[in-house]
Amino acid sequence: MRKILSEYDFPFLLAIDFESEWKRVLTVVKKHPWLTVDGYFQTEQQYRDYKIRMGTAASEFKLWQIENWNDKYYLDQIYRSRYWLSQLDLIKSFNYEDSSYGLKHDCENWWGVEKSKLGIQDTVSYVANGCLIVGALILEWKFTDTYQGHRSLNVCFPISKKSLKRLKPDYRG
């Protein structure tokens, strides 16, 4: 069942209330302090290990701070993600075929199509994996970061493949 976003009627992006968006984000990220733009981490050590594997030098390493989310660049991505995700139907079981990483690309494709319809040329379509996850958590979606005993920074949600296919003609490549 879809969660309706009455305050987010389309076209929506041009009138984002960043202050209220930040309040929504803050509520979620306080519950999940190691959720970063990269994805979902259960502990600080998992986050540190990931950054080192990705080539971040120890001298350059900085912990992700909750306050980092309070940036229009990220709030914009969360807002767009939440709107796009709200078009999907939820089911009881997790969809392990379409993780947050794949969904973020679908959301980017959708926004690319929508902004060209609106004649918007000065915004990017990029959506960070963590921004999409925050958008889903604001919608109060359940998630799992574990599949067949392995955990990932990409999470899975209980979304209907049928609803993803419904969006496919317009947004999925």
Question: Each residue of 112-153: pLDDT tens digit?
Answer: 888 787 777 766 789 999 999 999 999 999 999 998 788 889
Q: Which two tokens stand for residue 142?
A: 């359940």
Q: How far apart are CA 103 and CA 81, in angstroms?
A: 9
Binned at pLDDT 50, 70 and 90, residue 72 comes out as confident
Predicted pLDDT of residue 149: 81
CB 16 within 8 A of CB 10: no
Q: What is the pTM of this model?
A: 0.85
Does residue 55 carry a pLDDT above 50?
Answer: yes
Residue with tokens 């999470």: 155
pLDDT digits (tens, 9 = 90+) for 6-52: 344 444 555 677 788 889 999 999 999 889 999 999 888 888 888 88
- pLDDT at residue 91 is higher than 80: yes
Interval 92-105: pLDDT, tens? 999 999 999 999 99
More confident residue, 76 or 148: 76
- Note the pLDDT of residue 140: 95
Three-class SS state of 35: strand
